Amino acid sequence: MTLLRLLRRSRRARSEWEEPLVKGRKAGILILALLLASTPIILSYTFLVVTSFANTIVFTPFINFKITWTTENYKMFFQGKLSPAAGQVYSTKDILTFIANTFIVAAGVTAVVLASSIPAAYAISRINFRGRANLMRLLMLLHAFPGVALIIAVYFIYIYARSPLYNALRDLAETGLVSKSFLASFDLAYSFFFVIVARASLEIPMSIWLMKGFFDRIPWELEWAAIVDGASRFTAFRKVVLPLVKPGIAALAIFAFLAGWEDLIYVYVFLPEMTLATFIHNQLSGGSLETTYLPVVAAAATIYLVPTLLFFVVTQRLLLEAVWGGLKG
Amino acid sequence: MVEVRLSRVTKRFGDVYAVREVDLVFPDKGFTALLGPSGSGKTTLLYLIAGIYRPTSGRIYFDERDVTNLHPNERNVSIVFQNYALYPHMKVFDNIAFPLKLRKESKQVIERKVMEIAEMLGISQLLDRYPSQLSGGQQQRVALARALVKEPSVLLLDEPLSNLDALLRIKIRSELKRLQKDLGITAIYVTHDQSEAMAMADKIVVIHKGVVQQVADPDTIYNKPRNVFVASFIGNPPANLLRVRVSHGNVPCLRLPGDLEYCVKDPIISAKLSALSTEEVILAFRPEHALISENPVPEYVSMEAEVYTVEPLGRENIVTLIAGADTVKVIVPPVVKPKPGSKVYISVEWEKVLLFDPATEVNIEYLEVPSVEVAREANPQWLGADEREVDEVGEA
Amino acid sequence: MAKRNSKKLALAFFLAPALALIIFFFIIPTLLTIWISFTNLYNWKIDRVKEFVGLQNYKDLIYFIQHDPDVEKVVKTTLVFTSLTLLVNVLGGLALAIFAYLIDERVSLSFRLLWILPRMTPIAVFGLLWYYFFYGSELGTLNSVLLRLGVIDQPISWGSDPSVQPWASWLIIIFVNGLVGVSFGMVVFYSAFKSVPRELIVAAKVDGATTWQIIRHILVPMARWHLVFVTVWQLLSLLTTYPHLFVLVEWGVVDKNYGTTWSLYVFLTAFSKAVNYQALAAAAAVILVIIGAILGLIVLRVMKFEEMIQPPRGDV
Ligand SMILES: Nc1ncnc2c1ncn2[C@@H]1O[C@H](COP(=O)(O)OP(=O)(O)O)[C@@H](O)[C@H]1O
Ligand SMILES: [Mg+2]
């Protein structure tokens, strides 16, 4: 043990322990190979962004179209025009609503995931209770549950509960407990609720594992110190433990946000024609390259991609650790 | 401020008994050390008193109040953890103020008390820093300040000095002791370092494998160890142990290496040895209580031995010898430098010799032999408490 | 007494939200799906959920598998897609992790990030990238490249030309899902390699081991357990994943049947505008759940899960 620790320390001191295994020309070849393997990824993303600034598809490198660089595609997108020739299909307000809706779903998923999985992860990490082991096993199983088996039933409930709920609310509106304007937008709120909560639920098992990993790393003594100092379990959680898992909360929030942001299936089912994902989907399903003006779709996709890329640049290592962290336990 | 009393307290983790059937009293305003090797159950015992752990069985009292099932925050105890457990996201001021804030004290009161305690511990200039910006010694003081600011009835300290360097340790040791006396707090101090326990404690509780081995003041622990474990754990180097044969004539005689014999004149010990009538006893003596000479010393317990090595330490030399089948260490003045390989005699005054029953490993002095009137220790309660523990070891 | 209650209260507070979601969005839907699979629910006529048909849906499924060429294709696609993508994801992930481990850490960081980008990219966007690429006229990137290189003289409709089916469709779905899935193995293996004590590697180097020998005899054996774990886990994911396949099929990038796996078949059967037979979809989903549960239990075994369930300390 001590020997190992000594070795570790000496390793920190001596940089050669940290050096890569392969150096010089061989490393160059390896990096080149990696680069080559990565070309599909690099090129495809580049093509997309480049096309969004061009008057034609830049995906087709050997066809001699005259390429003009332009921001016209973004303008058209925001005007709701799907091609230079066509008229406005959507209003600018529609387009902004798509973006806002996508954002609402992502933010909602984030909120639901954070609010439910942080306390649950804390309990599993810190409190001994009957059924804890079984709960952990269950979470592990749900982690890999076929989501498609759920969405049928969830949609069933969605339809099944809609009118009784609406009627109940209408009765309440009569008594004045619920505002009439809320009733008017009931359908929309109801759909958003289902998208958000159902999509968030899919993330819950993994999120609890991820957060549990972060809680596990907090020394027990800190919490005990707080409790001996006179704190209740809640206070110790709020004042001592929670501030210390901020990086974990950040990682979780980013993951949840991206999960809500990238989703297509749930918005396709519950909020068709209302988000960026379904906008792109509608342009391509049924259409063809000859009839769909792709630069505008590329502009929409690029805008859709921006938050993802932003999180990428900002969080880097956190992201890599978290992909695995949720499983490490 | 309170007396802490444990009554047959057991704590089990799965199959492991971390603490087993412990009866103890920590006197009011006393400084009691819990001394034992690593893994002996010291921290567990401390956490039981704090309420972090619940006993598997047994009860814990603060004075007459049964606190066994009370939440830690209902016990008014403080802990200084081994790793200090300072809240890393709070400044020193907020760390110290935390217990007061939880009590919803007013801002002025909090400010005043934190300042007072910081002043007392000499950390006033650190209040604006974060724990990570402090040295080990400073962190230790902050942890102590946080523990003291709420004026606890019991102060629990879990190896608070073990992460500090040797010099600092000795300095803080005396400060801590003075502080405790000034504040009149009941202190329970966990350590695996016997010199710390000896230097600071009024009472020492020696614990091993979750079982209390002896409870006594430092002198008694040192000079009259209750059993072989205590004798071999305390002292640096610890006491020497030899198995010697006993011949039971008119008086029992110890047969020592080099065909030497010592017949026991002390009537009580003699009677106990006779009553015990074992073939062997374990003889122990402390390295600093022995002499090395060319010839046996009359009236002393003397034995022949071969010198193995001599370690000069400047102020003294430690001589390692082989006596019979056992290795023995003796501390001698620096001028004494016997040649390795030479035959010498080790002699110990009878009063300094300890004898243990090989079956129970209990010091014969403490043994209750039916036919013999045994002088009891001054405090029967303490003795009664750990006697049962020791007996149980014997049975196990 | 009060103590017990306060602990229960704390537990209820901490666990209630997550448990509620799990019950309402996992447990109840699963039971409901099983229920629906015994009814005659179609076109979302919800009253039909009371119409029991016994095992009819399951019998239908078996009949379709045997006699409906479309469903037969789906089953074939599922088998080919799952096994080949699994191979790509595990071996590709291993190769990427090894490469990344061998080179300088900062350089490898950019590569590792690049490779998890597909996993984080919105599904519609990622689908779009490959829509362009595999487009069936000379406008598609692949076609234009092959035309220019003279490999072909007519653009090929990868997704619909019968002469290149089923493999064109299969390769496309394997490629697209492989790009998304391979990063999982990469991340897991890389972190496994990173936890191999550096002493072992340096000692091997001192003994004169080549880089290949180090990989072969130290790194890969040390990641043995991870290899099993990633394989089972990926198998499970591949059986249950469908969003990327959904866009590829719906946008006509691949053949409708040779691009559809069992999961997507479930989804399309329940939700597509044409067919729309929820009861049948539910029965197909139940089969998936059973397979998923079995694989999940294997994962629990493989992960030495019991060791991870250490009880928390303290009794407060
Ligand atoms: N939470 C726990 N779970 C299981 N075993 C424990 C736990 N805490 C302590 N132990 C065991 O109890 C024994 C005593 O531990 P401890 O009180 O920490 O000893 P010490 O503080 O004297 O070093 C050890 O054998 C230890 O492994
Ligand atoms: Mg300890």
Given a cut of 50, whether residue C61 has pLDDT beyond it is yes
Kindly state the DSSP code that residue B300 receives in the 8-state scheme: S
Sign of CA dihedral A131, A132, A133, A134: positive
Beta bridge partners of C310: none
pLDDT tens digit sequence for A12-25: 444 555 677 777 78
Kindly state the DSSP code that residue B217 receives in the 8-state scheme: -
Token pair of A267 as six digits: 């918005």
Number of C-alpha atoms within 13 angstroms, CB side, residue C187? 26
- Confidence at residue C207, expressed as pLDDT on a 0 to 100 scale: 83
Q: What is the pTM of this model?
A: 0.86
Nearest to A219 among B73, B78, B85 (CB): B85
Do residue B51 and residue C316 have CB atoms under 8 angstroms apart?
Answer: yes
CA torsion, ordered A78, A82, A85, A88, to nearest 10 deg: -60
Contacting subunits of B (3+ beta carbon pairs below 8 A)? A, C
Its domain, for residue C113, covers: 71-261
Distance B38 CA to ligand 2 centre (A): 6
The arrangement of strands across the sheet holding B317-323 comes to: B290-293, B343-348, B301-312, B317-323, B326-332
Long-range interactions of A80-86: CB distance < 8 A, separation 24+: A81/A296, A82/A283, A82/A292, A82/A293, A82/A296, A83/A292, A83/A293, A83/A296, A84/A293, A85/A293, A86/A293
In a domain, C315, yes or no: no
Query: How does the average pLDDT of chain C come out, rounded?
Result: 87
Distance A98 CA to ligand 2 centre (A): 59
B16 in contact with ligand 1, CB cutoff 6 A: yes
Mean pLDDT of B198-226: 94
In a domain, C269, yes or no: no
- CA-to-CA separations, B236 to B193, B251, B337, B349, in angstroms, rounded: 11, 34, 20, 20
CA distance B218 to A324: 54
In a domain, C257, yes or no: yes
Question: Locate tokens 């580049």: which residue?
Answer: A46
In a domain, C114, yes or no: yes
Cα angle A170, A171, A173 (rounded to 5 degrees) comes to: 60
pLDDT confidence band for C9 (50 / 70 / 90):
confident
CA distance B374 to B387: 14
Query: How does the average pLDDT of chain B come out, rounded?
Result: 89
CA distance B97 to B101: 6
- Whether the bond between B237 and the residue before it is cis, its omega within 30 degrees of 0, is yes
Q: Look up residue B314 and give its amino acid.
A: G
- φ and ψ of A257, to 5 deg: -60, -45
Q: Sort B14 into a burial class: Cβ within 10 Å, 0-12 / 13-18 / 19+.
A: exposed
- Confidence at residue B373, expressed as pLDDT on a 0 to 100 scale: 43
| Contacting residues of B for A217, CB less than 8 Å apart | none
Those residues whose C-beta lies under 8 Å from the C-beta of residue A104, and which sit 6 or more positions away, are A192, A196
Q: A183, A170 in Cβ contact below 8 A?
A: yes
- Ion ligand 2 neighbours (CB, 5 A) are B 43
Q: Sort B135 into a burial class: Cβ within 10 Å, 0-12 / 13-18 / 19+.
A: exposed
B53 in contact with ligand 1, CB cutoff 6 A: no
DSSP string, B43-76: HHHHHHHHTSS--SEEEEEETTEE-TT--GGGTT
- Whether the bond between C155 and the residue before it is cis, its omega within 30 degrees of 0, is no
Nearest protein CA to atom 11 of ligand 1, as residue = B18
Q: Nearest Cα to A325, choosing from A245, A226, A265? A: A245
CA distance B54 to B56: 6
- Confidence at residue C93, expressed as pLDDT on a 0 to 100 scale: 93
CA distance C98 to B380: 71
Sign of CA dihedral B14, B20, B23, B27: negative
B47 in contact with ligand 1, CB cutoff 6 A: no
In a domain, C112, yes or no: yes
Those residues whose C-beta lies under 8 Å from the C-beta of residue B371, and which sit 6 or more positions away, are B271, B275
Nearest to A128 among C113, C122, C312 (CB): C312
- Confidence at residue A88, expressed as pLDDT on a 0 to 100 scale: 78
B244 touches chain A (CB under 8 A): no
Distance B45 CA to ligand 2 centre (A): 9
Residue predicted with more confidence, A304 or C209:
A304
Query: What per-residue string of b and e applies to B140-174 under the rule 16 or more CB within 10 Å gives b?
Result: bbbbbbbbbbbebbbbbbbbbbeebeeeebeebbe
CATH, residue C214 = 1.10.3720.10
Ligand nearest to C-alpha B162: 2
In a domain, C208, yes or no: yes
Kindly state the DSSP code that residue C216 receives in the 8-state scheme: I
pLDDT tens digit sequence for A224-254: 999 999 998 889 999 999 999 988 898 899 8
pLDDT tens digit sequence for C204-246: 888 888 888 888 888 888 888 888 888 888 898 899 899 999 9
Mean pLDDT of C40-52: 85
Do residue A277 and residue C21 have CB atoms under 8 angstroms apart?
Answer: no
CA distance B76 to C32: 53
Q: Which uninterrupted H or E stretch holds C4? A: helix C2-22
pLDDT confidence band for B332 (50 / 70 / 90):
very high
Do residue A57 and residue C132 have CB atoms under 8 angstroms apart?
Answer: yes
Mean pLDDT of A278-291: 77
Number of C-alpha atoms within 13 angstroms, CB side, residue A247? 16
Kindly state the DSSP code that residue C196 receives in the 8-state scheme: S
Ligand nearest to C-alpha C314: 1
DSSP string, B369-380: -TTS--PPPS-H
Q: Which residues of C touch B (CB under 8 A)?
A: 3, 6, 314-316
Nearest to C33 among A47, A153, A317 (CB): A153
| Contacting residues of A for B89, CB less than 8 Å apart | 243-244
Domain count, chain C: 1
In a domain, C16, yes or no: no
Given a cut of 60, whether residue A1 has pLDDT beyond it is no
Sign of CA dihedral B93, B97, B101, B104: negative
Given a cut of 60, whether residue A6 has pLDDT beyond it is no
| Secondary structure of chain A as H, E, C letters | CHHHHHHHHHHHHCHHHCCCCCCHHHHHHHHHHHHHHHHHHHHHHHHHHHHHCECCCCCCCCCCCCCCECCHHHHHHHHCECCCCCCECCCHHHHHHHHHHHHHHHHHHHHHHHHHHHHHHHHHHHCCCCCHHHHHHHHHHHHCCCCHHHHHHHHHHHHHHHHHHHHHHHHHHHHCCCCHHHHHCHHHHHHHHHHHHHHHHHHHHHHHHHHHHHHHCCCHHHHHHHHHCCCCHHHHHHHHHHHHCHHHHHHHHHHHHHHHHHCCHHHHHHCCCCCHHHHHHHHHCCCCCCCCCHHHHHHHHHHHHHHHHHHHHHHCHHHHHHHHHHHHC
Ligand nearest to C-alpha B82: 2
pLDDT confidence band for A120 (50 / 70 / 90):
very high
Instruction: Name the residue in chain A with its Cα closest to that of C143.
Output: A60
Cα angle A228, A233, A234 (rounded to 5 degrees) comes to: 130
Ramachandran assignment for A287, one of left (phi > 0), alpha (psi -120 to 50 degrees), beta (any other): beta
Nearest-atom number in ligand 1 for the CA of B190 is 21
Nearest-atom number in ligand 1 for the CA of C314 is 1
Q: B42, B160 in Cβ contact below 8 A?
A: no
Those residues whose C-beta lies under 8 Å from the C-beta of residue A30, and which sit 6 or more positions away, are A22, C99, C102, C103
Do residue A264 and residue C114 have CB atoms under 8 angstroms apart?
Answer: no
Instruction: Name the residue in chain C with its Cα closest to that of B73.
Output: C316
Provide the shortest C-alpha distance from residue A228 to chain C (in Å). 10
Q: Domain-by-domain residue ranges, chain A?
A: 93-323
Nearest to B52 among A222, A224, A231 (CB): A224
Provide the shortest C-alpha distance from residue A75 to chain C (in Å). 19
Helix (H, G, I), strand (E, B) or coil at B211: strand
Contacting subunits of C (3+ beta carbon pairs below 8 A)? A, B
Token pair of C198 as six digits: 């550096």
Q: Look up residue B275 and give its amino acid.
A: A
Q: A273, A89 in Cβ contact below 8 A?
A: no
The percentage of residues in chain B with a pLDDT greater than 70, rounded to a whole number, is: 93
State how beta strands B186-191 and B154-158 pair. Answer: parallel
B218 in contact with ligand 1, CB cutoff 6 A: no
What count of CB pairs under 8 Å joins A to B? Answer: 56
Q: Look up residue B125 and give its amino acid.
A: Q
- φ and ψ of B319, to 5 deg: -105, 130
What's the fold here for domain A93-323?
MetI-like fold (1.10.3720)
Q: B215, B203 in Cβ contact below 8 A?
A: yes
Do residue B89 and residue A243 have CB atoms under 8 angstroms apart?
Answer: yes
ipTM of the complex: 0.90
Kindly state the DSSP code that residue C37 receives in the 8-state scheme: T
pLDDT confidence band for B390 (50 / 70 / 90):
very low
Mean pLDDT of B193-214: 94
pLDDT tens digit sequence for B262-295: 998 888 888 888 888 888 999 999 999 999 999 9
Q: Nearest Cα to C281, choosing from C46, C42, C51? A: C42
Ramachandran assignment for C264, one of left (phi > 0), alpha (psi -120 to 50 degrees), beta (any other): alpha
Given a cut of 90, whether residue B303 has pLDDT beyond it is yes
Q: Sort A157 into a burial class: Cβ within 10 Å, 0-12 / 13-18 / 19+.
A: middle
Q: B271, B347 in Cβ contact below 8 A?
A: no
- Confidence at residue C311, expressed as pLDDT on a 0 to 100 scale: 80
